[in-house]
Structure 1
Amino acid sequence: MEIRHLEYFMEVSRYKSFSKAAEVTHTSQPSISKAIKDLEIELGITLFYRSTKYVKLTDAGEAILEQAQQIVSSFRNINAQLEGLTKMQTGKIHIGLPPITAVTTFSHLLGAFKSEYPKIHIQLYEFGPKKIEASLQDGLLDIGIFTPEDSDHFEWIWFEQDPLSVIMHPTHRLAQCCNVDYEDFYGEQIILYNSDYKLHDIIIEGCRRAGVNPEIAFETSQRELMTQMVAANLGLALLPSKICKDLNPEVIVSRPFSDSQLCLQLALVWKKGRYLPHAAHELLTFLKNYLSDEIRTQA
């Protein structure tokens, strides 16, 4: 058994697809399939149910996954410690970011960092915020992007605060309004973040406080699907205002949301007490300096 076999196993279980696991690991699908088969033979168990439509962990596979995560996490920490001691301005950072809320600010930060440190490889994983938080706890990610609350287990640096706007089809009745409030959602179909996002719970709770029982048309973690459904006039959605500025006003319009407290707040988060590779420390130091310079420039 090799560590890469466990890594391939984790990626197949993560994406429920041999082809997707091959893509993210830059490996051929036959190599992934052979590695999983070798692992099953060595362990004497079947790890996945396989069909033409899906790949699913068996009960034994579920049990092995937890052990595999711990082994790979420990192995990565060993490599990270050696790498941090022996290499400068090189290495790899595993970062988890949510697909809907990964907005332009982080792209600019990452672009500036890569210009300064071209030899550092950034591996991005698109998960919902709750899964990112759990993956940080399990040591599967170095850094996560979400709205942190647990100061006992995490440390963080804030980098984004962006109010939410309501997006809608240009012919929608609320397009005539200057702003939108929870009460305006009465009788409307809402396209909402799925339950992996804390905003899902915050929006529903806000509606209920306003006496509105929200009619959820669809829940998703995919921003493109959300905007496509709004463009098809199938409902309303809430997105960060910076994203709304890039939407085509001929098919989607946005209006400010009255609840000023409802905003996207993002931080770069890491697990307290966990060893971070040298490359991750470089990113955090760069980010602190970058944001300080930006604040001074705005002042």
Structure 2
Amino acid sequence: MEIRHLEYFIEVARHKSFSIAAEVTHTSQPSISKAIKDLEAELGKTLFYRSTKYVKLTDAGELVLDQAQQIVAAFRNINTQLEGLAKLQTGKIHIGLPPITAVTTFSHMLGAFKSEYPKIQIQLFEYGPKKIEASLQDGLLDFGIFTPEDSDLFEWIWFEQDPLSVVMHSTHPLARYDLIDYKDFEGEQLILYNNDYKLHDIIIAGCKNAGITPEIAFETSQRELMTQMVTAKLGVALLPTKICQTLNPLTITYRPFADTNLCLQLALTWKKGRYLPHAAHELLAFLKTNYHLIESY
């Protein structure tokens, strides 16, 4: 059974005429007759009473007509949706991003993209970088935001490089410093990224290289919790500078960190060789065109 057979059947039933049905479907009357015969043979039922004067649906034909109309309508709806997808007016993108990282730049980019393509749905999932990387490999996400390293597994577009600053309560002794280094953390309570983040290991290694063993007060993936603990005078933290600029200066102060290589580097990353939906390709094209971002291989 083919969709066009059902379409021919519906037109014959509507016009009660094989010749008119042939005319409106721009086909020949023998083709219409053959399609109806093939349909009747496949269903094992006579669908029309035929005479030299009229064509009328049988009881079986009435039943089939109702179902045929639903099937054809559903098929045409699929075609309509596929046309919308081809024009990149619809679709869905799944993106994983760490809750603690500064995604200010990406948020603006995403907002601009949504303004241009309002019918494309974007689902955001807050995971740690390691889970994002694993989810990309398992095909659960289209994109992930983190610091990729393995060019055999991933492709990416860099969009953020934000140096870390030291965040402390406004009354903290380190607030008197103009620049803070690892050695200044001696005896301080650090509120640190949890071990889902590569920055966790980098900061601890930096402290050890400076000859100190860091005292870790708390590890978390929640930015709000880090700043709340700083406000409560429970320790100092390292946060991307763009985040620091949004904090309340009456209670929290931040100072630049001496290690300028310690920065948050973020890329929009996807699994190499994985199928990406049309909407995801459109996001990539939008970023490259409007923000001149370069794809890494």
TM-score w.r.t. the length of structure 2 is 0.69
Matches within 5 A, 1:182-261: 182-261=182-261
The one-letter code matched in structure 2 to 1:161 is Q
The residue type equivalent to 2:167 in the other structure is I
Residue correspondence of structure 1 range 50-65 to structure 2 within 5 A: none
Q: SS of the residue aligned with 1:250?
A: coil
Which residue identity is paired with 1:114?
A: K
Q: Compared with structure 1, are the counterparts of its residues 84 and 198 closer, same or farther at alpha carbon in structure 2 (3 Å cutoff)?
A: farther
The answer on whether the counterparts of 1:84 and 1:277 sit within 8 Å (CA) in structure 2 is no
Q: Give me the whole-angstrom Cα distance separating, in 1, the residues matched to 2:193 and 2:134.
A: 18
1:241-292 alpha-carbon deviations (Å, 9 max, x no partner): 0010010011100000000000000000000000000000011111111222
SS in 1 for 2:166: strand
CA distance in 1, matches of 2:102, 2:131: 15
**Residues 283 and 290 of structure 1: CA distance in aligned 2, closer, same or farther (over 3 Å):** same
Do the aligned residues in 1 keep the contact of 2:102 with 2:240 (CA within 8 Å)? Answer: no
**1:288 corresponds to 2:273:** no
Correspondence for 1:164: 164
**d(CA) in 2 for partners of 1:206 and 1:84?**
52
Deviation string 1:101-153 (CA, Å, 9 cap, x unpaired) is 04211110110000111010000000011110010001000000000000000
In 1, distance between residues paired with 2:210 and 2:109? 38
**CA–CA distance in 1 between the matches of 2:162 and 2:86?**
40
Runs of 4+ with deviation above 6 angstroms: 82-85
Change over 3 Å in CA distance of 1:83–1:140 after alignment to 2:
farther
- 1:197 positional shift: 0.5
Equivalent pair of 1:145/1:267 in contact (CA under 8 Å): yes
**Structure 2 residue identity aligned to 1:141:** L
The aligned amino acid for 1:287 is L
Identical-pair percentage: 79
Say whether the 8 Å CA contact 2:136–2:271 is kept in structure 1: yes
The equivalent of 1:137 in structure 2 is 137
Uncovered stretches (5+) of structure 1, i.e. residues with no partner: 1-81, 294-299
Residues 84 and 187 of structure 1: CA distance in aligned 2, closer, same or farther (over 3 Å): farther
Q: Per-residue CA shift, 1:28-77, capped at 9, x if unaligned?
A: xxxxxxxxxxxxxxxxxxxxxxxxxxxxxxxxxxxxxxxxxxxxxxxxxx
Alpha carbons 1:83, 1:277 under 8 Å: kept: no
Structure 2, unpaired ranges of 5+? 1-81
Q: What CA distance in whole angstroms lies between the structure 2 residues aligned with 1:95 and 1:164?
A: 24
CA contact (8 A) 1:89 1:282 kept: no
For residues 173 and 194 of structure 1, what CA distance do their matches in structure 2 show? Answer: 25
Look up the equivalent residue of 2:212 and give its one-letter code: V
1:90 matched residue in structure 2: 90
Q: Distance in 2 between matches of 1:289 and 1:127?
A: 28
Aligned length: 212
Q: 2:292 is paired with a residue of what secondary structure?
A: helix
TM-score (norm 1): 0.69
Greater C-alpha radius of gyration: 2
In the alignment, the residues of structure 2 paired with residue 181 and residue 83 of structure 1 have an alpha-carbon distance, to the nearest angstrom, of: 57
Q: 1:153, 1:174 → 2: CA distance?
A: 42
Distance of 1:117 and 1:214 partners within structure 2: 47
Deviations 1:136-177 (A, max 9, x none): 001000000000000000000000000000000011110000
Q: How big is each residue's C-alpha offset from its partner over 1:200-226, in whole Å with a ceiling of 9 and x where there is no partner?
A: 011111111111101000000000000
Looking at structure 1, the residues matched to 280 and 141 of structure 2 have their Cα atoms a distance apart, in angstroms, of 11
1:75 paired residue number:
none
The answer on whether the counterparts of 2:88 and 2:282 sit within 8 Å (CA) in structure 1 is no
Alignment of 1:32-71 (within 5 A): none
